[in-house]
Structure 1
Amino acid sequence: MTSPTPPAEPAHADRTYRSGAGLVSGALLILLVGWIGGDAVVQGKGWVPWMALAALLMVIPLIVAFTLRPAVFADKERLRIRNPFRTVVLPWTDVSTVRAAYSSEVFTHSGEKYQLWAVPVSLRERKRAARKAGQQAHDDPYGRTSVHADVRDSQARAAAADRTVEDLRELAEGATARKEPSTVTASVRWAYEVIAPAAVGAVLLVVLLAIG
């Protein structure tokens, strides 16, 4: 009797990083702009409905680009950065460092820099996290921990952008430690699905304003 074939090992899933505030604000802005623009289309006279349609065609893709589109996807082989107008794919072997100062950024060994739009840095959140860390150090200057303490507590107290950057650094260091040749090729692709409708809407709006 043959033994059953073991199931194939699942592929390493992407870690996905997005801005919750960006998603919420983007959805609200689309609803607001859609309501105002739709009202202008229905109630407007003369060229107004056409101008409203052109404005919607221009504005909605831009809202999507800056709020809903940004995301960072990472697995054990590559980093994929989806910014408003570009998608950048980098093998970890090309990544020099990831840092979060006033914005989150990735640097390559060749000196190129890419901003992570999906990982915004909140200075207010960072200051709040620093105050919490300082308060704990004041309450327990010897660094003692109880049996209920979380060993990841220092990372949990960090700002969200700093936690994300630390995760990305760990993935980069893991790829470097394995010293395996990467099958991923670095690439940059422009988001024409966002740029094209926004550009068409802008051109139409200018033409309608000129002839109206």
Structure 2
Amino acid sequence: MYADRVFRSPAGMAGGVLLLGLTVWLGIDAAVRGDGRTPWFAVAVLLLAVPLIVAFTLRPAVFVNDDRVRVRNPLRTIVLPWAVVEDVRAGYSSEIFTKDGEKYQLWAVPVSLRQRKRAARQQARKERPRRGDGSDIQVKTPQADQAIRDMRLLAEVNADSPGAQGEVRTRWAYELAAPAVVGLVLLVVLLAIG
């Protein structure tokens, strides 16, 4: 058994850090320098925006090991032992299917159609070289497709192992939802009282 392998979207994380930094900078500036109700609006927007930015950009991750896959999506975490996994696929999005017919999105493994097209062009060039034998062309598998293959292989190999048995467990991320709801309520109240 090896330590958890983690799949994340580097572009999503980088965008999230930039967006979070900009939001916090502008929000704190408005809260400190603003007058009238501006500081309250800034606090409400920060309470609403920061948890949502964290949830949708920094939080998503997929952790896999020999026993299970843990899918950390924006507002919930799903733990799936390999024994309950029917299939792992990547079409327009990455998805994991259980034997009960449930489907879970893998937010942390985004599918890039551009990378797929590039890989298909490289494969076509390798199969029909114009000059030389084409053996020098390296076909790079898209990152999402490689992650899906790895997870599918783990599911097939480990489905019968004793540690991979169990039920699907789901936990909601109340620590992110609660401040966002408070911020939304505060923003609505501030807008209502004008």
Fold shared per TM-score above 0.5: yes
* Distance (Å, rounded) in 1 between the aligned partners of 2:122 and 2:154: 27
Q: Which runs of 5+ in 2 are unaligned?
A: none
* Distance (Å, rounded) in 1 between the aligned partners of 2:150 and 2:79: 17
1:167 to 2:157 alignment: no
Q: TM-score, normalised by structure 2?
A: 0.93
How far apart are 1:23 and its partner, in Å?
0.6
The superposition leaves residues 172-211 of structure 1 with CA deviations (integer Å, 9 ceiling, x where unpaired) of 11113xx223354320110001101100110011111112
Which of 176, 185, 189 does residue 194 from structure 1 map onto? 176
Per the alignment, in what secondary structure is the counterpart of residue 108 of structure 2?
coil
Counting only pairs closer than 5 Å after superposition, residues 135-174 of structure 1 correspond to structure 2 as 135-139=125-129, 157-174=140-157
Change in Cα spacing, 1:109 to 1:65, as seen in structure 2 (3 Å) is same
Q: Which runs of 5+ in 1 are unaligned?
A: 1-10
Question: Quick one: which amino acid aligns to residue 113 of structure 1?
Answer: K
1:77 touches 1:184 (CA, 8 Å); kept in 2?
no
| Bigger Rg over Cα | 1
* Distance (Å, rounded) in 2 between the aligned partners of 1:144 and 1:47: 67
1:54 touches 1:202 (CA, 8 Å); kept in 2?
yes
Change in Cα spacing, 1:144 to 1:127, as seen in structure 2 (3 Å) is closer
1:95 to 2:85 alignment: yes
C-alpha RMSD of the superposition: 1.9
1:19 touches 1:120 (CA, 8 Å); kept in 2?
yes
2:84 touches 2:165 (CA, 8 Å); kept in 1?
no
1:116 to 2:98 alignment: no
Which of 85, 88, 95 does residue 75 from structure 2 map onto? 85
1:96 touches 1:108 (CA, 8 Å); kept in 2?
yes
Q: How many residues align?
A: 192
Question: Quick one: which amino acid aligns to residue 85 of structure 2?
Answer: V
1:105 touches 1:113 (CA, 8 Å); kept in 2?
yes
Structure 2 match to 1:25: 15
Question: Quick one: which amino acid aligns to residue 182 of structure 2?
Answer: V
* Distance (Å, rounded) in 2 between the aligned partners of 1:107 and 1:130: 26
Per the alignment, in what secondary structure is the counterpart of residue 13 of structure 1?
coil
Question: Quick one: which amino acid aligns to residue 127 of structure 1?
Answer: K
* Distance (Å, rounded) in 1 between the aligned partners of 2:127 and 2:179: 53
1:78 touches 1:184 (CA, 8 Å); kept in 2?
no
The superposition leaves residues 47-76 of structure 1 with CA deviations (integer Å, 9 ceiling, x where unpaired) of 110110011010010000000000000000
How far apart are 1:35 and its partner, in Å?
1.6
Structure 1 match to 2:2: 12
Q: Percent same amino acid among aligned pairs?
A: 55
2:84 touches 2:166 (CA, 8 Å); kept in 1?
no
Per the alignment, in what secondary structure is the counterpart of residue 89 of structure 2?
strand
Question: Quick one: which amino acid aligns to residue 153 of structure 2?
Answer: E
Per the alignment, in what secondary structure is the counterpart of residue 62 of structure 1?
helix
Which of 111, 116, 122 does residue 132 from structure 1 map onto? 122
